[in-house]
Amino acid sequence: METTKNKLTENELLFFNKLSQYLETPLYYFGSIQRFDYLRGKSDIDVDIFTDNESSTITKLQHFLHIKKSNIKKFIWRLNSNNKLVYGHKIMYKMPEHGFNCEISIYNEKVKDEILKEHISKMRIPFFITYTLIFLKMLYYNFNIIDKQTFRYLKRKLLTIGIGLPDDDFVVIDTK
């Protein structure tokens, strides 16, 4: 998962290589960048970072991305594989000038194997789910027929119940 199934553009590759070097840790790619339903310039690029010191990594990310701490959201996720609750932090970072957006998740190193197992379970999906995801993304991104909330809901259902997994329990904690 340190490489992508879909090829990154030069700008994307440069950005993620610089980020990895700056943080002195590998990045792990998951989500549609690892599947056939990835739409360049539309789909965001999902990245996991695992660290022994989450606070330090978050501070470094703030500096690297030039963002406020309020842009970083804390969350709780109940893993499907073992019902374990894990905590993490998430940053949605938009780079319209370079034609891509990314969503960065930061976790403690202790949960790395469990998180990667969870993501791998959603990498190899049946062809009918892949085609349905592509169709859904076209309705949302290209034709603006469905709203963001409906798109996210349907996509989540396809990637859980549609492939035989329980629905994800994922809650953002308001830290204000």
- Measure the N-to-C terminal CA separation of the chain; round to a whole number of Å: 33
CA 157/CA 37 separation, integer angstroms: 15
Closest CA to 32 of 164, 150, 130, 162: 130
CA 119/CA 161 separation, integer angstroms: 15
| Mean pLDDT rounded to a whole number for the chain | 94
CA 74/CA 117 separation, integer angstroms: 21
Model pLDDT for residues 5-42, shown as the tens digit of each residue: 999 999 999 999 999 999 999 999 999 999 999 999 99
Instruction: Identify the H or E element spanning 127.
Output: helix 127-137
Predicted local distance difference test score (pLDDT) of residue 97:
85
What the chain holds in terms of domains, given with CATH numbers, is: 10-124+166-173 (3.30.460)
Predicted local distance difference test score (pLDDT) of residue 175:
60
Predicted structure pTM score: 0.93
Output the six-digit token pair for 107: 């976790």
Residue indicated by tokens 């490489």:
3
pLDDT in tens for each of the 176 residues of the chain?
Answer: 899 999 999 999 999 999 999 999 999 999 999 999 999 999 999 999 999 999 999 999 999 999 999 999 999 999 988 889 999 999 999 988 888 999 999 999 999 999 999 999 999 899 999 999 999 999 999 999 999 999 999 999 999 888 888 888 889 986 65
Predicted local distance difference test score (pLDDT) of residue 133:
96
Predicted local distance difference test score (pLDDT) of residue 127:
94
